[in-house]
Amino acid sequence: MTLLERDAIGAHASGCNAGNLNPLYATPPSLLTQALDAFKLHHLLAEELRSLGCARYALHPVTRILIGSDAAERAALEQAAELFGATPRFSSRWLEREALRRAEPGIAENVEFGVQLEGSRSVDGQLFTRSLADAAVRLGCELVLDAAVGVTSRADRVTGVRTGRGVLACDEVVFAMGPWVSELQSWLDIEMAVEPLKGQLLLVQLPKQEQPLHDLSWKSVAIYRRRDAQIWIGGTMEKSGFDVTPTDAVRAGLLADAARIFPAMNRATVIRHVAALRPSNQSDRPIAARAGGWGNAWIANGGGAKGILLSVGIAQTIVELMAGRGNALVPAGE
């Protein structure tokens, strides 16, 4: 088995994210079952990685408070509260103004209510990705750092992947290329409705006594408490082609929006400003399927904004399909 990676492990979106494992929050209804299945797989995977001695990360419980001030926001929060309250191992608690301020004293004065959501988890995306690579190597996989530049084939089978150093022969091949699918489409003569969706986030620090006690979300901005007293502020979703340049306008906007809900963020020190591309499928559904017209080529893609969560489910589906079991999530290139 060979893992071909163009760049360093976790160099792109898989390592530049807040590591949220939120199967219920902001998940399209059509994906809820799949998201919950992936959430369960993450727990099983963490145990297996620990048994192999290569789990560099941990699954951290997350308490998130969604906040609002008007009737429309109240209705949206009530829907989230109902969903969390009705799902086993998840829960919700409604917080009117006084209760909200007892739970989160630093919240902005104009915030009128919130709902506290329990049951989700978070991981360090970079460490999670590296742990997977470590496990693959320990199980006999060869890690090759090189770029794929094409394929060789015979009839309906891919016989090798061309790299800068030669051809890697293969019996089966999985293409997990994120948003960079244009070359793959030409290699395999398929069509894929995957496009890059740019996301920008800030990693900041606050003095411990000024930090929020929970993750906080309001409209499109969120504050995520993470390890080493660090806080992620996210995030954006931009159609900017393959541009991964962090912009000053987004940096200023994220800081301003975070301070509107938690004023102490005005004093935050920015450690990193990252931008990365998520592979977004036009149907909002991930792809795990055989490439149309090919007997041994498989596509794993389209995790979008929930890529870390859904990645394990996509991988599990590919494994089952290779073994002649299960159903494709979305047909690829047919």
In this chain, the answer to whether the domains covering 1-59+123-193+282-334 and 194-281 adopt an identical fold is: no
Residue 330 has a pLDDT of 61
Q: To the nearest 10°, report the CA torsion of 164, 244, 134, 227.
A: 160
Burial class of 171 by CB neighbour count within 10 A (0 to 12, 13 to 18, 19+): exposed
Domain-by-domain residue ranges, the chain? 1-59+123-193+282-334, 194-281
| More confidently predicted of 257 and 282 | 257
The CATH number assigned to the domain with range 1-59+123-193+282-334 reads: 3.50.50.60
Residue 331 has a pLDDT of 55
Largest CA distance in the chain: 69
Query: Average of pLDDT values for 240-252?
Result: 95
For residues 313 and 171, is the Cβ–Cβ distance under 8 A? no
pTM: 0.93
Architecture of domain 194-281: 2-Layer Sandwich (3.30)
Say yes or no to pLDDT of 333 above 60: no
Q: pLDDT tens-digit profile of 301-327?
A: 999 999 999 999 999 999 999 998 877
Say yes or no to pLDDT of 124 above 60: yes
Structure tokens, 332: 């690829």
Convert 179-195 to b/e letters by CB count within 10 Å (16 or more is b): bbbeebeebbebebebb
Residue with tokens 């030669």: 166
Query: Average of pLDDT values for 109-131?
Result: 96
Q: How confident is the model at residue 334 (pLDDT cuts 50, 70, 90)?
A: very low
Q: pLDDT tens-digit profile of 133-147?
A: 999 999 999 999 999
Residue 332 has a pLDDT of 54
Helices (H), the chain: 32-52, 71-86, 97-103, 125-138, 182-188, 248-261, 307-322
